[in-house]
């Protein structure tokens, strides 16, 4: 199809003939050939939901005729449902307010809603009562909350539950503790895995607090936070409709200058997601270390065999799911660093890092949620324990001598531990040979289970 000529306030622009967008979108496509990645689809869908809610409220207030309002709403909801995705090509590295993507959505909706008898204007009708400066911050919040609900919370909860299930299953297995990577007092495998699950539970609680912070949105502040052209009735009605469309409750930010001049809620959410990613990295590292071997490491745990681990060493199987989690942890930390910088870099009445913040936050939410669910299903749910290996390492460890120290003193206990490690005998054997206590009392004190 031949190109067509579109006009905006700067003049004429040549636009692909089959494009649903117009001049402002085409200018942005040409201006920002940066990453080759468009604005995240979740943000586009969220913008469309905001547009649908605004059209409904503008109609109810008599500011927009019913015919146009319904056409705008129908077009916006189609986009919110994932249609017409190829018509949102603007690079994520664009104007920092996201104005280009706001206008992209406005233009596509206007074209879909227009007929020869009824012209719908992208600014006058679709953008009525709005500014990019309050629509984009609102839409990023909406997109982030949807991703948290759909991917992050279920995935992390599934991993926590898988860890709890394994903790119960192996709570009878006493294994050697380690501090500073060195032998320490024994503890049960169930206690270790239960601690891992508790870390994720605490992280989820922090993430839910961040989700609640995201429920406060900037809509109604318009250009700089003053709310010019957005009557109180419009804001209240639009947020009611947006809550209904999204299935999550939204409320007006108590201070629009804070909501548009800063991205503190996004910084909070990113930090919470990063925190869970860090917990997952620690968990994956712990389990990978305890599963290392089988001849050269602890080999107390065993992951399911998922795939051959080497192109040259036959029979080698690697902890691939733990490695995936650790890579996701690294990426989430990097994403969060970018968002933290963005949060500190807003100037006066508008933070101009919203596209970057949206892209990085949604990336972290998706990666952490999916990695958690996959790690749960393909690694933790099938995790096994080598009971005999755990028993052997506990018995060989010199740290069991700690249980004798209150009876025979620290110095004498240390001598027993050193002799045991030097000779390869167990603490039990050395203590009995030295006759520091009656044999039955030594056996009673050196019961590993009672130490946990």
Residues marked as catalytic: 180, 310
Q: What three-state secondary structure class fits 177?
A: strand
The C-alpha atoms of residue 246 and residue 244 are separated, in whole angstroms, by 6
Q: What three-state secondary structure class fits 236?
A: helix
Burial of 361 (0-12, 13-18, 19+ CB in 10 A): buried
Residue 173 neighbours by CB under 8 Å, 6+ apart? 188, 189, 190, 385, 387, 390
**CA dihedral for 120, 121, 124, 128, sign (positive or negative):** positive
The C-alpha atoms of residue 262 and residue 362 are separated, in whole angstroms, by 18
Tokens of 112: 């879909």
- Whether the CB-CB separation of 23 and 127 falls below 8 Å is answered with no
Residue 143 half-sphere exposure, CB side, CA atoms within 13 Å?
A: 29
Q: What three-state secondary structure class fits 383?
A: coil
**CA dihedral for 163, 167, 168, 170, sign (positive or negative):** positive
Q: Is the peptide bond before 294 cis (omega within 30 degrees of 0)?
A: yes
The beta strands (E) that lie in 90-179 are given as 174-179
The region, left, alpha or beta by phi > 0 then psi within -120 to 50, assigned to residue 315 is left
Closest CA to 363 of 269, 282, 280: 269
- Whether the CB-CB separation of 37 and 61 falls below 8 Å is answered with no
- Whether the CB-CB separation of 161 and 125 falls below 8 Å is answered with no
Helices (H), 230-292: 232-246, 256-261, 264-290
């Amino acid at each position: 199809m031949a190109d067509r000529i579109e006009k905006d306030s700067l003049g004429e622009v040549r636009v692909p003939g089959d494009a649903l967008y117009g001049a402002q979108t085409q200018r942005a496509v040409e201006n920002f050939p940066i990453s080759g990645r468009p604005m995240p689809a979740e943000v586009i869908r969220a913008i469309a939901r905001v547009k649908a809610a605004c059209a409904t409220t503008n109609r109810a207030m008599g500011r927009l005729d019913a015919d146009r309002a319904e056409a705008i709403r129908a077009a916006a909801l189609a986009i919110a449902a994932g249609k017409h995705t190829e018509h949102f090509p603007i690079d994520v590295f664009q104007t920092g307010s996201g104005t280009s993507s706001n206008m992209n959505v406005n233009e596509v909706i206007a074209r879909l809603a227009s007929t020869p008898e009824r012209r719908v204007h992208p600014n006058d009708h679709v953008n009525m009562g709005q500014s990019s400066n309050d629509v984009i911050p609102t839409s990023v919040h909406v997109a982030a909350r949807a991703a948290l609900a759909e991917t992050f919370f279920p995935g992390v909860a599934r991993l926590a539950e898988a860890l709890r299930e394994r903790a119960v299953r192996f709570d009878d297995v006493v294994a050697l503790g380690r501090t500073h990577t060195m032998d320490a007092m024994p503890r049960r495998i169930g206690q270790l895995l239960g601690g891992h699950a508790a870390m994720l539970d605490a992280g989820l609680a922090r993430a839910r607090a961040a989700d609640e912070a995201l429920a406060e949105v900037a809509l109604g502040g318009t250009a700089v936070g003053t709310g010019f052209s957005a009557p109180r009735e419009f804001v209240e009605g639009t947020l009611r409709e947006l809550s209904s469309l999204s299935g999550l409750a939204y409320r007006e930010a108590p201070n629009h200058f804070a909501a548009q001049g800063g991205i503190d809620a996004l910084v909070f959410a990113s930090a919470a997601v990063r925190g869970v990613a860090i917990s997952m990295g620690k968990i994956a590292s712990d389990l990978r270390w305890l599963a290392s071997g089988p001849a050269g490491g602890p080999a107390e745990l065993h992951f399911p065999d998922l795939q051959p681990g080497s192109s040259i060493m036959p029979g080698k199987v690697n902890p691939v799911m733990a490695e995936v989690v650790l890579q996701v942890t690294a990426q989430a930390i990097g994403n969060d660093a970018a968002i933290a910088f963005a949060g500190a870099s807003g100037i006066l009445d508008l933070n101009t890092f919203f596209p970057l913040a949206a892209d990085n936050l949604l990336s972290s939410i998706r990666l952490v949620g999916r990695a958690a669910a996959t790690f749960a299903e393909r690694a933790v749910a099938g995790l096994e324990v080598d009971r005999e290996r755990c028993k052997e390492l506990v018995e060989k460890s010199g740290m069991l001598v700690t249980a004798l120290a209150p009876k025979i003193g620290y110095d004498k206990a240390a001598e027993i531990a050193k002799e045991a490690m030097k000779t390869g005998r167990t603490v039990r054997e050395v203590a009995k040979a030295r006759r520091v206590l009656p044999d039955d009392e030594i056996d009673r004190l050196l019961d590993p289970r009672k130490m946990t």
